[in-house]
Amino acid sequence: MSYNLLKGKRGIIFGALDENSIAWKTAERVHAEGGKFVLTNAPIAMRMGQIDALAKKTGSEIVPADATSEEDLENLVAKATEILGGKLDFVLHSIGMSVNVRKGRHYTDEKYDFTAKGWDVSALSFHKVMQTLYKADAMNEWGSIVALTYMAAQRTFPDYNDMADNKAYLESVARSFGYFYGKEKKVRVNTISQSPTPTTAGQGVKGFDGFISYAEKMSPLGNASAQDCADYTVSLFSDLTKKVTMQNLFHDGGFSNTGVSQEVIEYFSK
């Protein structure tokens, strides 16, 4: 069902890799709601993924960019506004990567150049994206910028490793930049703290399947899917949420406010 919530709106969507990714589902949903956008991903991710199919499906152009490179981001923003014919109304930052996780390094045995790389890709890139948009004055008033995060920023999930620190940093950037962007340009900045979701990125975390079923048992409404997240993101891109900014919004079926559920008690009472 479409409500035309984003009719006439323009934006950039970072991080669509394949049809499991939240950015991919969001792009489809934005398209259905009448929004136009440029797709972008790092060149290496583009070789691995199927972004061309998504571009075709949504009538979008692709501009490759490494989100850690200021030069690439300046080029991306300039090209996007040119392709779309004006300033932007929405941006989705859906990027995260930990070299320590990939290389199987434990949190107590980090290789710090890996840590720095992951931090740059997962968190500092969000500041770089917003600073680039800000300096280019590329966002319309009442525009909306959203980044995807996870509750490991607030609570400990042992296998989430240094990604937890990256997400805490990401959420802080949203609040700090959100203040200035709101004050000076009326642009809102929020993060969505999503349920564990079986995306290509998510499945890189050890013990992931067990964790998904635990979260499902803990959440009164069950886990939020990638599609659910796409729907929620669209509501934040729309004019219906104009005064929501600098928030970390839990989109997790109630998991974040549940101490223990009946299902979990029953499981451990066996």
Question: 22 a known binding residue?
Answer: yes
Mean pLDDT of 207-219: 92
pLDDT at res. 45? 84
Residue spans per domain, the chain:
10-269
SS (H, E, C) 182-198: HHHHCCEEEEEEECCCC
pLDDT at res. 200? 80
Q: Reply yes or no on whether the pLDDT at 202 is more than 80.
A: no
How would residue 79 be classed by pLDDT, with cut points 50, 70 and 90? very high
Residue 210 dihedral angles phi and psi, to the nearest 5°? -60, -35
- Residue 140 CA, chain-centre distance (Å), reads 20
Q: Reply yes or no on whether the pLDDT at 206 is more than 90.
A: no
Question: 265 a known binding residue?
Answer: no
pLDDT at res. 88? 99
pLDDT at res. 199? 86
Q: Reply yes or no on whether the pLDDT at 201 is more than 90.
A: no
How would residue 270 be classed by pLDDT, with cut points 50, 70 and 90? confident
In tens, the pLDDT along 243-252 reads 999 999 999 9
Asked about 112 being catalytic, the answer comes back as: no
How would residue 209 be classed by pLDDT, with cut points 50, 70 and 90? confident
Q: Reply yes or no on whether the pLDDT at 69 is more than 80.
A: yes
d(CA 194, CA 209): 16
Determine how many CB atoms are found less than 10 A away from the CB of residue 268.
Answer: 8
Q: Give the dihedral sign, CA 247/177/172/93.
A: positive
Catalytic residue among 107, 134, 150, 214: 150
pLDDT at res. 1? 86
Catalytic residue among 107, 112, 134, 160: 160
Question: 95 a known binding residue?
Answer: yes
In tens, the pLDDT along 253-269 reads 999 999 999 999 999 99
Average pLDDT, the chain: 96
Mean pLDDT lowest for which of 79-83, 178-182, 199-203, 263-267?
199-203
Asked about 160 being catalytic, the answer comes back as: yes
Whether the CB-CB separation of 256 and 193 falls below 8 Å is answered with yes
Q: Exposed, middle or buried, 170 (CB in 10 Å: 0-12/13-18/19+)?
A: buried
Q: Reply yes or no on whether the pLDDT at 204 is more than 80.
A: no
Q: Read off the pTM.
A: 0.97
SS3 177: helix
DSSP 123: I
Structure tokens at 178: 């959100």
Q: Judge: domain 10-269, CATH 3.40.190.10.
A: no
Question: 15 a known binding residue?
Answer: yes
In tens, the pLDDT along 154-195 reads 999 998 999 999 999 999 999 999 999 999 999 999 999 999
Better-predicted residue by pLDDT, 205 or 164: 164
Mean pLDDT of 142-147: 99
Q: Reply yes or no on whether the pLDDT at 150 is more than 80.
A: yes
